[in-house]
Structure 1
Amino acid sequence: MKPTAKKPDLLRDNELIYGRLLAVDEPHLIQRYNKALVAFGLEPTRLKSFQIDRTGFSPEIAEECGDFDYLDPNEVNRRFIILTPSQIDLPVVHTAFSNTSQLMFEFMSKNQRAIDALTIKDVIYGEIEDSVPKVNDIEDLLSINQVEFKVLSAEDVLGKAAELGRLVDRLKQEPDAWRDNAMLQRMVDLAKICGDIRENALVPDQVIFRHNAYWTSHFGGLYVFVDPDMTTVICDPAAPGFRRSRPWQVSYLSINDADK
């Protein structure tokens, strides 16, 4: 019997969806990606090649694990995986918030030196952490004033760089610290991993960002516009909290008004 031909996917084949993604096919990058997946409590991929977007989301891995929200399990506190600084030029193809792409761009731009240095030896992963663990009503969305990037690395290069920095400070501040051979050896060992932390900024230091306008897929699609004097919410009136959450502060518009 002839093998069954793969059914063509015209949208994907013509890059109408999932276009301009980055191919990941080098074993060491796949290994690093798997370390991030395991850190998130997910199964490592068995794929030998896949594509990723700016956040590290892969449609192939989503299909493999049967979960397109594997990096966004509650559609809030979005996870990210950074294998290479070049991800900054990629689109975001799957997200519950329209500002995810811009937040990732700002984070990667503001911390470019650290990301350049870290991804030479390690994978960066973490969460874009909001103030709520889950969105149950409009009030939860209104309570999100800013986000903070919680950043980790699989080989703990971030932690080792911070430890080396503390030891350097101790060496400078304590007159007899240079006599501590164990400490000096530890500094040498850490420097082999982190390099010269005076030149290499390994710890991202700009991690808090604010956005005043976004769309979210929650409640069938909802828009939030934050102005100094008034916040505007546009959504389906059936959304929980519509015209009940912060009525003194929020102007509510029905998304159905456009049909009238």
Structure 2
Amino acid sequence: MNPLVERGLMFANLIRVDSPAWVGLYNRALEKLTGKTTALAEFHIDLTGLSPEVGDELGDLDYLAPRGGNRQFILLTTEQKTAPMLAADLSVYPAILRRFIAENESQLFSLTARDAVVGEIDDDVWQLAQPADLLDIRKVRITADTTGSHVAEADKLTAMIDRFRSQPDAWWDDVLIAEMIEQARKSGDVTRNPVRLSHTSFDVPDFRAPAFGGVYVIRSAPEPAVVFADPSQQVPLGGVQVMSLSDRNAIAAWLARNGLAEQVTASGGAATAAVLRQKIDFVLVDAATEARIDPGDGSRAALRRAAARLDPAALPPELPGLGAMLRYVETGGDWPVIDSANPAYFYALRATTGPWQGTVNQLIAELAPHDVRTLFLVNKPVFHRLFQTWDAAKQAYVADQLAREYQIDRQGTRAALFGPEPGMAEPDQAGPGTAAAGPRAGAAVPAGPWGPARGDRGPAPRGGPWGAAR
């Protein structure tokens, strides 16, 4: 992973803990959660307070996830919301924890000014013993308090105040008044400075989990589905369609029926052409390094020279389809016939806007593994796993490209890859079946690269870019 770390693509934006006060607060929280402390005087923490340096010291790189328990977290500052999450049991955890911090920022700011905040992310499932347990994860609850229990103490005082205000004879209850005064010494004035945390429960319709070899749960679609990365883990599950990554035609048909994906070439233009060229470059460098051909400095000219030295039989199967799409975008002409039986099919897809968008983009990225830029953006667990299997030449090329192009223009890269964020539309429905298909098969086709709008006037003519496999 050194090429990624050296270029700021891994362990970047972590929060530095280097003051004795912060180290003391962290140790107090760490001891409360794990019974251990760190002797380090300086280290870095992620969104959840997890530190790679502390993990290395303790011999447990995921020490905030007790075996069989919920993921725990330590907050020293609300600025942790800008840090990445190094280990996520569910792909939605980073977004949920950032939202929790943002929606309780004033209270958390007040709490972290005097103590560390510790808590856990509870998914209501004690242990993932079998794939069916994944379907029980529907809501995530976050519980948090300081190591000194300031939130719990404030809740006690709030309950006393409510009792004092509601009971007619409370003015004469000397014991209650004395208890309130003593409790206020611990919690402060909760009427002026409330510390009650709200927005602690979040719905989880869709997510990716590393369990069972990697699995995608997408329930917000009209037809809920579970997709396993490892076919050997695939088991029937009641109420949802079950597929594996090897079921490419079934996944394509499901995406189309539910209106979950669209083609990246729909907008056309220079930006789309640049995206397709980058996809082709990464496919070529993968083929060249596999064939032990030096890709040179990684420039487009060097890659073309390396490709010329490849045995024609060794050319990546994705290349003809990607090349045809690039020619269509740049020069027009006939639409290329790219269906779900074509290796290039998923390279030309992105998720439509909706609650499923993040998880579907992760799924599509894993189905197009040579597009490592998209994989890096949306599915880092799979990217990091694949990165470790590459030789040094490919690792260096990929790290250089990501550092040079993505880091320079993060927002522009995301816009080019995933398009604008339009309002969510009702997904289209098509008939059942798992034949090779394209996005929004049978749906109304707008004017533009798809041709004139047809509405319900009949199916699209054969020969379009998303025709059925022959």
Q: Which TM bucket (shorter chain)? A: 0.7 to 0.9
Q: Deviations over 1:31-60 (max 9, x none)?
A: 222222222233111111111111111111
CA–CA distance in 1 between the matches of 2:68 and 2:245? 21
The percent of aligned pairs where both chains have the same amino acid is 31
SS of corresponding position for 2:246:
helix
What is the identity, as a one-letter code, of the residue corresponding to 2:93? Answer: T
Structure 2, gaps ≥5 residues long: 249-340, 344-470
- Deviation larger for 98-107 or 222-231: 222-231
Residue 253 (structure 1) aligned with residue 243 (structure 2): yes
Could you say what secondary structure the match of 1:238 adopts?
helix
Does the 8 A contact of 2:236 with 2:242 survive in 1?
no
Structure whose residues are more often helix by fraction: 2
Q: Unaligned 5+ residue runs, structure 1? A: 1-7
1:29 paired to 2:22: yes
Corresponding residue for residue 116 of structure 1: 109
User: Does 2:229 align with 1:244?
Assistant: no
Aligned pair partner of 2:61 in 61, 68, 71: 68
- Indicate the residue corresponding to 2:141 in structure 1: 148
After TM superposition, the score normalised by the length of structure 2 is: 0.49
Give the Cα–Cα distance (whole angstroms) in 2 for the partners of residues 141 and 233 of structure 1: 9
Q: Tell me, yes or no, if the aligned pair for 1:129 and 1:148 is still in contact at 8 Å.
A: yes
Report the Cα offset of residue 125 of structure 1.
1.1
For 2:40 and 2:155, locate their aligned partners in 1 and report how far apart those are by CA, in whole Å. 34
SS in 1 for 2:89: coil
- Checking the alignment, whether the CA contact within 8 Å between 2:68 and 2:126 is kept in structure 1 is no
Is contact 1:110–1:206 with CA below 8 Å preserved after alignment?
Answer: yes
Q: Tell me, yes or no, if the aligned pair for 2:14 and 2:46 is still in contact at 8 Å.
A: yes
CA displacement at 1:9 relative to structure 2:
4.9
Deviations 1:64-114 (A, max 9, x none): 111112112347621111111111121112222211100101211222222
CA distance in 2, matches of 1:173, 1:75: 43
Distance 1:190 1:125, change over 3 A: same
Q: For the residues of structure 2 that align with 1:201 and 1:130, how far apart are their CA atoms?
A: 27
Confirm or deny: 8 A CA contact 1:72 1:95 kept in the other structure.
Answer: no
AA aligned to 1:237 is P
**Matched letter for residue 142 of structure 2:** F
* C-alpha distance in structure 2 between counterparts of 1:189 and 1:138, whole Å: 51
TM-score, with length taken from structure 1: 0.86
**Structure 2 residue 224 is matched with structure 1 residue 231:** yes
Q: Partner letter of residue 230 of structure 1?
A: E
Amino acid of the structure 2 residue aligned with 1:131: D
Q: Which amino acid aligns with 2:236?
A: R
Partners of 1:32 and 1:184 in 2: how far apart? 33
Q: Distance in 1 between matches of 2:180 and 2:216?
A: 51
CA separation of 1:193 and 1:9: change in aligned 2, threshold 3 A: farther
Larger mean CA deviation between 197-206 and 84-93 belongs to 197-206
- Pick from 41, 46, 49 the counterpart of residue 53 of structure 1: 46
For the residues of structure 1 that align with 2:21 and 2:179, how far apart are their CA atoms? 27
Partner residue, 1:160? 153
Give the match's secondary structure for 1:165.
helix
User: Which residue in the other structure is 1:89 paired with?
Assistant: 82
Separation in 1, partners of 2:35, 2:60: 11
Larger fraction in strand: 1
